[in-house]
Structure 1
Amino acid sequence: MNQDAYLEQLAALQAAAWPAGTPRQPHYPHGRQPLSEYLRAWARLQPEAPALDFYGARLSYAELDRQSDRCAALLVELGIEPGERVAVFMPNCPQLHIAFYAILKCGAVYAPVSPLSKALELSYQLKDSGA
């Protein structure tokens, strides 16, 4: 099967499986802008609303924005420049989200690495990502 026929078939399968009444195009309530700007918008609009709820520990949008700003400043101070890849070796926890937004805020590239990775997997992921 050639590429065009494959893509046509794939589009038909996707159209048939798409849930009725669900938009087919993304909706951007704050316009098309970087994800970090969405965090800033939610921090302004509903600063005390929970952005994260982790085992009962809540982090508001304003606090997530503040803490990620601080982390971004630290990353820049440590020499991280726009476009550099930054590996994050953490489980899913509030600090992971803080680091994620901090990396985006300083223009770097988030490169997640699972803490469950074995040494060989970790080595490959770090080399492959350029982190």
Structure 2
Amino acid sequence: MARVTVEDCVDKVENRFELVLLASHRARMIAAGAPITIDRDNDKNPVVSLREIADSTLTPDDLKEDLIQSLQKHVEVDEPESEVVPALSSAPQNPEAIGDIQFDRMTEEDLLRGLEGLVPPAETEDDSE
């Protein structure tokens, strides 16, 4: 059994932390049943994944893309947009309905009287204690 270290893989993936992420993701894929691209030689899944990266049987870019897709909660699907889009018109559907619109008219005094009822009552001496 050949000993695989991080130094064997650093020339393929420069960042050690990214290498650990990619190798662990690949090890999980192998555990889930993904085919192995090299001989196992009684190695465990993390060692097999590091050996695959060191032997360049898998590209780090493919592993990175697969890792990103596995972590996404929403996968975007490119769907063709429909050619015909219904136009929205600002004109009313029934032209006769224009004359039937009723507006409420209120004077400024009526508005102020209505707002006075919404004002909280003044604070008394009993409330301040």
Note whether the superposition's TM-score is higher than 0.5. Answer: no
Relative to total residues, which structure has the larger strand share, 1 or 2?
Answer: 1
- Higher RCO, 1 or 2 (CA under 8 Å, sep at least 6)? 2
Higher Rg of the two aligned structures? 2
- TM superposition score normalised by structure 1: 0.24
- TM superposition score normalised by structure 2: 0.24
